[in-house]
Amino acid sequence: MSFFESLDPAFDRFVLGNAPVKQLATGYDWLEGPVWFGDAGCLLFSDIPSNRILRWTPGSGVTTYREPSHYANGHTRDRDGRLVSCEHGTRRVTRTEHDGAITVLADGYEGKRLNSPNDVVVSIDGAVWFSDPHYGIGSNYEGFAAPQELPCRVYRIDPLSGTLQVMIDDMNCPNGLAFSPDESRLYVADTGRMYEGDPQHIRVYEMRDGTPVNGRLFHTIDPGCADGIRVDSDGNLWSSAADGVHCISPEGKLLGKIFVPELVSNICFGGRAKHELYITATTSLYRITLNRTGVQFP
């Protein structure tokens, strides 16, 4: 069987004909938030409903990294290599220090609680950017059902002052985030209310003096939605979709697909040369080796 569908000749060079979509672990409830730790030789990822952050290590499989995880969803690493996490249950963004202590980076804005921070990236200046849709407070499945106090937005946490700043407030439900390799662009996935038939698309913003401006439609995912997105070193965007992972050119053209047997939530690059794509998909963790280099810091 083929794991791929090539829609552009460029994609033929991105994939390896004999590299499988390999299931590394299964039996979970709903996986998200993969983040690669090359220095520790492992991948961390969230099983949100089971309130755990898990650790997959090549050769030894999955162990529990943190439980309870406060229904953690997306993760990334900051410029010092520290884990930065979005937590639904506590409605906050945290940083795990090198000694294991947990620092709260943000949990509210102007006296109101955040909704349920979902996905997070760190820019080259060390600022933490995160999305805050309402998915974690809509029911008790991935957090705690509670009233929504703030609009769904994208925020930036200043690396020096720690101040929280609203950066994007004109989207329905911002979700996955990714900067282009030179950080001249910010991509933001909008997954909408999910139940009302909203378009599932990715927007691109131009970064001007550190601010995202001129947001416009970049690409509409079909089928499914762009929950998690990542870029490779040539600026191609890789996105989750209902049938797997889609690869989209910087011009917004769908170049090809990787088919995954389960609904994909999030992805990240990892491995020795950041040439492996780790895929969280419903109950399972998958990996495929690509002829690509992902942008993943550190």
Each residue 200-239 as x (binds Mg ion by CB under 5 A) or -, in order, gives: ---------------------------x------------
The nearest distance, CB 19 to Mg ion, in angstroms, is 26
* Closer Cβ to Mg ion, 119 or 276, answer by number: 119
- 61-66 and 52-57: which strand pairing? antiparallel
Residue 297 and residue 269: Cα distance in Å, rounded? Answer: 10
Closer residue to Mg ion, CB minimum distance, 132 or 232:
132
161: which residues sit within 8 A by CB, 6+ positions away? none
Of 118 and 296, which has the nearer Cβ to Mg ion?
118
State the minimum distance, in angstroms, from the CB of residue 253 to Mg ion.
24
Q: What three-state secondary structure class fits 9? A: helix
> Which amino acid, one-letter code, is at 116?
S
* Window contacting Mg ion (CB under 5 A); options: 6-14, 165-173, 174-182, 237-245: 174-182
Contact 88, 71 (CB under 8 A): yes
90/118 with CB nearer Mg ion? 118
* Closest CA relative to residue 244, chosen from 261, 227, 229: 261
Q: In the bound complex, what is the minimum distance in angstroms from residue 218's beta carbon to Mg ion?
A: 17
C-alpha dist (Å) from residue 58 to 24, 247, 270, 293: 9, 26, 12, 20
Count of residues touching Mg ion (by CB under 5 A): 4
Q: How far is the CB of 220 from Mg ion (least distance, A)?
A: 17
- Choice between 15 and 72, CB closer to Mg ion: 72
Q: Are 94 and 103 in contact (CB under 8 A)?
A: yes
Among positions 92-151, residues that touch Mg ion (CB under 5 A) are 118-119
User: Which C-beta is closer to Mg ion: that of 19 or that of 157?
Assistant: 157
Does position 69 interact with Mg ion (CB under 5 A)? The reply is: no
Please list, in sequence order, all residues whose beta carbon lies within 8 angstroms of the beta carbon of residue 290, skipping any fewer than 6 positions away: 14, 15, 16, 19, 275, 276, 277
Q: What gap in Å lies between CA 145 and CA 278, rounded to an integer? A: 30
Q: How far apart are CA 68 and CA 102, in angstroms?
A: 13
Out of 175, 180, 200, 280, point to the residue binding Mg ion (CB under 5 A): 175
Distance of closest approach, residue 119 Cβ to Mg ion, in angstroms: 4
Q: Please report how many Cα atoms fall inside a 13 Å half-sphere around the Cα of residue 141, on the Cβ side.
A: 7
Residue 291: CB minimum distance to Mg ion, A? 27
CA dihedral 132, 270, 280, 77 (to 10 degrees): -20
The least CB distance from residue 133 to Mg ion, in Å, is 8
Here's the x/- map for Mg ion, 30-49, by CB under 5 A: it reads as --------------------
The binding site for Mg ion (CB under 5 A) comprises 118-119, 175, 227
